Amino acid sequence: MNIRTILFDLDGTLIDTNELIIASFTHTLGKYAKQPYAREEILEFIGPPLKDSFMKIDPAKVEEMIATYRKHNLENHDSYVTAYPTVVETLTHLHEAGYQLGIVTTKVKSTAMKGMKWTGMDHLFETVIGLEDVTHAKPHPEPILKALQELDAKASETLMVGDNYHDIEAGHNAGTLTAGVAWTIKGREFLQSYNPDYMLEKMSDLRDILGV
């Protein structure tokens, strides 16, 4: 195995934003949805771009809902967001060992950077691909291919790490190796069904996989 580049999803993979996301969806749906949504139903919205999720609620008010969601999300961001255990120390070690690290997220870049800075990891990544940087979001391979282009990296030497099916499928579609994270809010069994090459019990497992 000759992995030199590691790409990461952000929310639910490196930083725990799950409760913030659920709270922001709950707030937004409370204003715009015609019926209440249970927590289990809101979990289905985690991962895809906001536009895709809100199109299912009311296509005529998608932009209003996105604005409401983002306002709540930003105003409450620092009260919720933390890095998952072993993430910062593992990424620091990989960075110092010479691995190229990148972020591939369905968030807009400014919001992604806010979470990275808050958790002290923004300096560790050589590229951040946000929603506005691509035409097609994950699971389309475009975001990963764009990151590889910016890093001058090969798919065959890259590992994509994520907490949701679209991360694993995007890696498969782009020709990279893939790793799921067992702490995904969707459940380990759900993510395992998409056949990632590896399943991480904690982020520091990457050091064992890579031999560093």
Arithmetic mean of pLDDT over the chain: 96
Distance between CA atoms of 63 and 198, rounded to whole angstroms? 37
| Whether pLDDT at 1 is above 80 | no
- The pLDDT tens digits for 172-206 are 999 999 999 999 998 999 999 999 999 999 999 99
- Could you give the CA distance from residue 211 to residue 57 in angstroms, rounded to a whole number? 46
pTM score of the predicted model: 0.90
Out of 9, 16, 163, 167, pick the active-site residue: 9
Sheet with 100-104, side-by-side order of all strands: 127-129, 100-104, 5-8, 158-162, 177-181, 198-200
What digits encode the pLDDT tens for the residues 105-124?
Answer: 999 999 999 999 999 999 99
Residue type for 170, please? A
pLDDT at residue number 64: 97
Nearest to 144 by CA among 165, 122, 170: 170
Looking at residue 11, what DSSP letter applies?
B
Residue with tokens 């990148």: 102
pLDDT in tens, 84-98: 999 999 999 999 999
End-to-end CA distance of the chain: 13
pLDDT band with cut points at 50, 70 and 90 for residue 47? confident
- Tell me the average pLDDT across 9-36: 95
Q: What is the pLDDT of residues 124-183, one digit of tens each?
A: 999 999 999 999 999 999 999 999 999 999 999 999 999 999 999 999 999 999 999 999
Q: In 3D, which of 135, 27, 5, 38 has the Cα closest to residue 73?
A: 27
Q: For the residues 13-19, what does the mean pLDDT come to?
A: 95
Mean pLDDT on 7-31: 96
CA distances from 46 to 5, 171, 184 (A): 26, 18, 11
Q: What gap in Å lies between CA 122 and CA 124, rounded to an integer?
A: 6
Residue 9 bears catalytic tag: yes
Decide if 48 contacts 86 (C-beta within 8 A).
no
